[in-house]
Amino acid sequence: MEQRRTIDIDFEAVRRNRELTDQRVREGFLASMQKKPAATPPPGPPVTIRELAQRLKMDVSSCRRYVLALGYKPIKQRTATSGFQPALTLTPAEAEAIYQKRHAEGYC
């Protein structure tokens, strides 16, 4: 003969756990519904590394290494000038700062 095992279930603990889960879900939903300030896009269209290289009269590969050496982190974006293919881009302010730095070094 088989012996039956009995399992003691703490129904009060199950109910409390369900209530806490429901509360967390409600709080998460309400938090997601609150208006968050939109990230402001940088002014002006992004400048590709290729465009910057032409302005600096450098090779694209050398320009990319120069930008990275200065500590800038280009972002891959699709632009009209790159044929909507992903290209490394900088903000216009970053591109201008890099140009000024290069110009101050006696190039351009």
CB-side exposure of 12: number of CA atoms within 13 Å? 0
8, 12, 19 from 15: Cα distances, Å: 15, 5, 6
The answer to whether 49 and 67 are in contact (CB under 8 A) is yes
- What pLDDT score does 12 carry? 82
4, 5, 6, 7, 107 from 1: Cα distances, Å: 9, 13, 16, 19, 94
- For 72, other C-beta atoms within 10 Å of its C-beta total 16
> pTM here?
0.61
- How far is it, in rounded angstroms, from Cα 80 to Cα 94? 19
- What pLDDT score does 94 carry? 96
For the stretch 18-27, pLDDT in tens is 887 887 777 7
- For 14, other C-beta atoms within 10 Å of its C-beta total 10
- What pLDDT score does 67 carry? 97
For the stretch 37-78, pLDDT in tens is 666 666 789 999 999 999 999 999 999 999 999 999 999 999
